A and B are shown apart, each in its own frame.
Chain A
Amino acid sequence: MKTVPFEEALTRYEPVIGLEVHVELGTQSKMFCSCSTNFGAEPNTQVCPVCLALPGAMPVANRAAIESIIRIGLALNCSIAEWCRMARKNYFYPDMPKDYQISQYDEPICTDGYLDVTVDGKVVRVEIERVHMEEDTGKLTHSGGATGRIHGADYSVVDYNRAGIPLVEIVTKTVVGTGALAPAVARAYVAEIRDLMRALGVSDVKMEEGSLRCDANLSLNRPGDPWGTRTETKNVNSLRSVERAVRFEIERQAAVLDDGGRVHQETRHFQEGDGTTAPGRSKEQAEDYRYFPEPDLVPIAPSREWVEELRLTLPELPSVRRARLAEAWVIGEFEMATLVNAGILDIVEETVAAGVAPDAARKWWSGEFTRAASERGVEPADLPVTSADIARVEELIASGALNDKLARQVFEAVLAGEGSPDEVVAARGLAVVSDDGPLLEAIDAALAEQPDVAEKIRSGKLQAAGAIVGAVMKTTRGQADAGRVRELLLERLGVEG
C-alpha cells in the first residue's frame, strides 16, 4: 500500500479525528437479563431465553448499568437526559440473537460533554457528542479460509455469552487542529477514558479482553478546504494500536490524495502485525438500520435527585489526581505514565499512605512486584503482600537490620506465603551481620585468596575494593552490610576511603 511519510503528509494536510469508544460495563448481570457477565466461561453457558432471543422472551433494563452510564456521563461533563428511550437498530447478523440490537438512536442518555487530555504538556479539549447505552453482540469465530473473517470461512461458530453485556458507547465530536499530535491525542484520549472508567469503577477496561474497544475515524483535508471523506478503523485493540492506526491512515490517505484519488468512506481493519489498515465492509451506501423506539422497554427517566446523588459518588478525576500525586511525589509526566500504564498507581498511593517513601514505594511496585505479578499472571495489586508489609521492611532497612538484597528475600518469602516480614526474618534468620568479628575474618580470607587485588587497593585503586566486598557478601550469604564491609576493608589495608 502506498504511503507518504508522516511528517511530509502533515506539510500538506490537516487531520480530523473522531473516536468511538465502547466500554463493556462491569455489572454483575447482563443489560436485559440476569445472566452472568463473567469473562472466559465455556461458550453458551451464560445464556437464557432473553439473551438467546427465544420467541416470547422480553428485555428488562439493568438499573446498575443505567447508574454506571449516568456516572460516566457526569464525569465527562455531559447533560443527562430527563427522559429518553432505547431504540432498535435492525440488521441481520448471526452474532446478534434478535437480529436487532437494543441501542440508542436520537435520544442518547448523555450528551454534550468534554474530556481534557494532555499531550506534550499541551492540553487538548476533546468534546463529547454523546454517551449512549447498548448491548453487546455474541462472538463469532470463523474457521477455515485465509482471512479469519466470515466471508471465505468454511464454517463459523458463535458464543452468545457476550450477547447482552451492557456496553456504553462514547462518541467524540470531530477533533480538529491537532496536526502532528493527532495520533498522540487519539491515544491519550483513549488512555484517559480508560483511567476514568477505572476510577469510576464501572469497567475493568481491559483492551486485550475487549472490554474497551475503540474505532478511530480519520479524514484529511488541505488547509482551508472542507473536511475530507473519513474512514473508520476498527480492531484497534491497544493504546499503541490507536496511535499507530491514526498515524497509518494519515500516511495512507495522504498518498491517495496526492495521487489525485479520493478516499472511500469505508470501515477498515487495523492489522496488528504490520501496523497497516485493510478495507472492510464498504459504507459507501450507508446501511439503513431502521431505528425505532424499543416498544418492549419503558423509557428511561432518571430523576434529578438520583442524578445529583450519583454526582456525589464521582471520584477525583484521573488527570487531577495524577497532577496532585506527581507534585507530592516529585516525579515527572513520564514516571507517572509508567505507574498508570503498569496499573499500580492505586497501590503505590496506598503504600505511600502506609508510611513508605514515594521513591521506595514506586521502586518496589514497578520492579519486584510487577515482575512477580507477571510471573504469576495476576495483577500486582492482587499479590499477597500488603502496604503494611512494605512499610515494615522499609523500617528494617532504615534501621540497618536488612539491606536491599535481604529485603528482596523477605518479600519472596512473604509472596510464597511464609508469613509476615518479621516472621520471615525470624524463621529464615535473615539479618545483616553487624558484628565486625566475623566480617573481619571473611575479609582476611578474601584478601588471602586474592593477593593481587589487595595489592591494587593498597596502591590506591579503590575501585578494585568491589571484588573483595563481593567475595565477603558471598561468604556471608548477603547478610552483611556492604558499606560496613568496605569500611573495614579499607581500614584493614590502611587506605583512606
Chain B
Amino acid sequence: MSLIRDNASVLASAIAEGEVSSEEVTRAHLDRIAAVDERVHAFLHVDSDGAIAAAKRVDAKRAAGEKLGPLAGVPLALKDVLAMKGQPTTAGSKILEGWIPPYDAAVVERLRAADIIILGKTNMDEFAMGSSTEHSAYGPTHNPWDLDRIPGGSGGGSAAALAAFEAPLAIGTDTGGSIRQPAAVTATVGVKPTYGAVPRYGLIALASSLDQVGPCARNVLDTALLHAAIAGHDARDSTSINAPVPDVVAAALNADVRGMKVGLVRELSGAGYQAGVQQRFDEAVAILTELGAEVIEVSCPHFEYALAAYYLILPSECSSNLARFDGMRYGLRVGDDGSRSVEEVMALTREAGFGPEVKRRIMIGTYALSSGYYDAYYGQAQKVRTLITRDFTEAFEKVDVLISPTAPTTAFKIGEKVDDPVAMYLNDIATIPVNLAGNCAMSLPIGLAPEDGLPVGLQIMAPPMGDDRLYRAGAAVEAALVDRWGHLLIEEAPAL
C-alpha cells in the first residue's frame, strides 16, 4: 500500500485493522507536505504537533479496543475559512493575520469527533472571493497538474492538497462553485451539499444565504464518508436543516443509474465552453446512457441571469458580513497611534487589511443595498433567484438529476485573468445556479481535455436533500471510467 496515494477508506480500514498506525499515515502526509508544498502552496499553516497528537490518540483508542469511525485516523486538509480553536484562521486575508480562534467551528468539532486528523489550514482566495486562489493575501496556490496554472478557487488549497497527495480528504466551502470548480480543474471530487445540510457555525461568512461547507476527496466513496461525518442539524445555525441526512454512503456504494432520469441543462453547455471540455462532457453523457440512465435535454431559461443576480446578492451580503473586520476586537489594527479617531482607525485598518477583490465586492454590495438602489439591484436579484429556483423545481419534476460541465474551461494560467474580474466570474457560470437555489451538486473528474491535457469535471445537480442522488450517479460514472482507464484520473497527474 501507499500511505499517501491510497484512498481515505482504504487507509481507514488499514488503520482499523492495525496494518498501519494513524501516526504513520499522518507523518507520511506531513513529510509529503514538507517535500512538495513549497511548490504547490496548498497550505497556509500546518499543525504538525496537533496532527501527530491527534493521530496518537486514535492509535491509543484502537489499542484500547474502542470502536473507531469509518474515517478514524485519516488526515484531512481544512480550508482556512473555518474557525479552529488554537490554530491561525485567516480566511486568506491580512486582516485576520495572527487571529487565533477561541472556538471550533461545528464542522471542526465533528471532524474531531470522527477522529479525523486535521493536518492544517489550506489556502484560499481572500474571504473565498475568487475562482483561482490568486486573491489569497498569502500568494497563489499552484495546480499540481501544471504548477503554472491555477488550482481553481476559492478552495484551491484544499483541491491542490488532494491532487498533490498531501491529504486524502479535504474540507471546502462553496458559495458559487468554490468546491466544485477547484475539484474540476484538479481531477478531484467535491460536493456542495444542500444549503443547510452542513452547519455553518464557525464558517467565516462570505454570503450567508449562499455559503455551504462540503466534502472533498479523490473519489466518490471517500467524499460520501466525509459528507456523512460533517452533515446534520446543529442548533447554533438557524438555517441548519433539522431532518435526517440522506444516506450518501449507501448511495456511493450503490453505483447504479439504471432507470435514472438525467437532465442535460441546455443553457449550461455549448457556446462559451472549451471544445475539450464539451467533448469530455459529451462522452460522460454517452457513458450515462450506456449505464442505463435516460438522458434528456432540459431547459432552465433563467440560468442566463444567474451570474448577474449572484454578483448583486453576494456582494450585498458580504459588504455587511465583512463589516465586523474593523480592527476593534481582533486581527489587524492600523493607525492607532493616539492621534486618530475610531472611524479613522477603522478605515485605515480596512484599507490596509483587505485586498482589491474584497474591496471591489464590498463597494458593489454597499452600492446595491443603498437606499434608492435597493429595489433595482438587491430586490431584483432576489426575484431572479426565485425564478432560478423555480427552473430547478420544474426540471426536477421531470428528471432525478441534472448535469453540465462543472467549469467552462480547464485550469487557466496564473495571472491570466487576475486583472479581468468579469472573465474570472464567468468561470462560475455553471456552478452558481445551485447556490442561488440552495440545492446540491457534485463535481467529479471525467477525463483530460485533448487540447491541453488538463482535467475536466462533470457537474451533477440534485434537488434539496437529494444529496444521495449525486453519489449514486457520481459513483456509477466513476466506476465506468475506472473500468475504462484502470485507475482514477488523478493517478495520471504528473509526479511532483
Query: Which residue of B has the minimal Cβ distance to A150?
Result: B342
DSSP class of B's interface residues: helix, strand, loop or mixed?
Answer: loop
* Known contacts A55-B99, A56-B202; A292 and B316 CB within 8 A of each other: yes
Residues of A within 8 A of B289 (CB): none
User: Which of B220-228, B236-244, B271-279 lies at the binding interface?
Assistant: B236-244
Query: Which residue of B has the minimal Cβ distance to A151?
Result: B341
Interface flags, B373-404, vs A, CB<8A=1, else 0: 01000100000000000000000000000000
Q: When the two chains form their complex, are residues A60 and B235 in contact, meaning their CB atoms are under 8 A apart? A: yes
Which residues of B in the span 328-353 have a Cβ within 8 Å of any Cβ on A? 328-330, 341-343, 346
Q: When the two chains form their complex, are residues B237 and A94 in contact, meaning their CB atoms are under 8 A apart? A: no
* Known contacts A99-B324, A150-B342, A292-B374; A52 and B329 CB within 8 A of each other: yes
Query: Which residue of A has the minimal Cβ distance to B201?
Result: A58
Q: A337 in the interface, Cβ–Cβ < 8 Å?
A: no
Interface flags, A96-115, vs B, CB<8A=1, else 0: 01111000000000000000
Residues of B within 8 A of A298 (CB): 238-239
Residue in B83, B207, B366, B370 whose beta carbon sits within 8 Å of that of A55 in the complex: B83
Interface residues on A, range: 20 to 34
Residues of B within 8 A of A97 (CB): 324, 328-329
- Distance, CA A57 to CA B204, complexed state (A): 8
CB distance from A334 to the nearest CB of B (A): 49
Q: When the two chains form their complex, are residues A56 and B342 in contact, meaning their CB atoms are under 8 A apart? A: no
- Distance, CA A215 to CA B440, complexed state (A): 48
Which residues of A in the span 261-286 have a Cβ within 8 Å of any Cβ on B? 286
CB distance from B376 to the nearest CB of A (A): 14
Interface residues on B, range: 35 or more
- Distance, CA A288 to CA B208, complexed state (A): 22
Q: When the two chains form their complex, are residues B201 and A56 in contact, meaning their CB atoms are under 8 A apart? A: yes
Q: B320 in the interface, Cβ–Cβ < 8 Å?
A: yes
Q: A38 in the interface, Cβ–Cβ < 8 Å?
A: no
Q: When the two chains form their complex, are residues A296 and B378 in contact, meaning their CB atoms are under 8 A apart? A: no
Interface flags, A280-308, vs B, CB<8A=1, else 0: 00000010101110011110000000000
Q: When the two chains form their complex, are residues B201 and A53 in contact, meaning their CB atoms are under 8 A apart? A: no
- Distance, CA A297 to CA B329, complexed state (A): 24
Q: B115 in the interface, Cβ–Cβ < 8 Å?
A: no
User: Which of B101-109, B143-151, B417-425, B442-450 lies at the binding interface?
Assistant: B101-109
- Distance, CA A297 to CA B238, complexed state (A): 5
Q: B171 in the interface, Cβ–Cβ < 8 Å?
A: no
Q: B82 in the interface, Cβ–Cβ < 8 Å?
A: yes
CB distance from B174 to the nearest CB of A (A): 16
Query: Which residue of A has the minimal Cβ distance to B323?
Result: A99
Q: When the two chains form their complex, are residues A94 and B328 in contact, meaning their CB atoms are under 8 A apart? A: yes
Q: When the two chains form their complex, are residues A49 and B103 in contact, meaning their CB atoms are under 8 A apart? A: yes
CB distance from A162 to the nearest CB of B (A): 15
Residue in B203, B235, B326 whose beta carbon sits within 8 Å of that of A92 in the complex: B326
Query: Which residue of B has the minimal Cβ distance to A86?
Result: B238
Query: Which residue of B has the minimal Cβ distance to A98?
Result: B324
Residues of A within 8 A of B326 (CB): 92, 94, 99
Which residues of B in the span 74-92 have a Cβ within 8 Å of any Cβ on A? 82-83, 89, 91
Residues of A within 8 A of B202 (CB): 56-57
Which residues of B in the span 230-263 have a Cβ within 8 Å of any Cβ on A? 235-239
Residues of A within 8 A of B203 (CB): 56
- Distance, CA A164 to CA B313, complexed state (A): 26
Q: When the two chains form their complex, are residues A54 and B83 in contact, meaning their CB atoms are under 8 A apart? A: yes
Q: When the two chains form their complex, are residues B330 and A54 in contact, meaning their CB atoms are under 8 A apart? A: yes
- Distance, CA A230 to CA B89, complexed state (A): 48
Q: B467 in the interface, Cβ–Cβ < 8 Å?
A: no
Interface flags, A298-330, vs B, CB<8A=1, else 0: 100000000000000000000000000000000
Q: When the two chains form their complex, are residues A296 and B208 in contact, meaning their CB atoms are under 8 A apart? A: yes
Q: When the two chains form their complex, are residues A290 and B369 in contact, meaning their CB atoms are under 8 A apart? A: yes
Residues of B within 8 A of A288 (CB): 370-371
CB distance from B364 to the nearest CB of A (A): 12
With A56-B105, A295-B208, A298-B239 already in contact, 14 other A-B pairs whose C-beta atoms are closer than 8 Å: A55-B101, A56-B202, A56-B203, A57-B103, A61-B238, A90-B323, A90-B369, A92-B326, A94-B342, A99-B324, A156-B342, A290-B320, A290-B370, A292-B378
Q: What are 23 inter-chain pairs, A to B, with CB distance below 8 A?
A: A49-B83, A52-B329, A53-B324, A54-B102, A55-B83, A55-B89, A56-B82, A56-B101, A56-B105, A56-B205, A57-B202, A58-B201, A58-B205, A58-B237, A92-B323, A94-B342, A97-B324, A100-B320, A151-B341, A290-B320, A292-B316, A292-B374, A295-B209
Q: Which residues of B contact A (CB under 8 A)?
A: 82-83, 89, 91, 96, 99, 101-103, 105, 200-205, 207-209, 235-239, 316-317, 319-320, 323-326, 328-330, 341-343, 346, 366, 369-371, 374, 378
Q: Which residues of A contact B (CB under 8 A)?
A: 49, 52-61, 88, 90, 92, 94, 97-100, 150-151, 156, 158, 286, 288, 290-292, 295-298
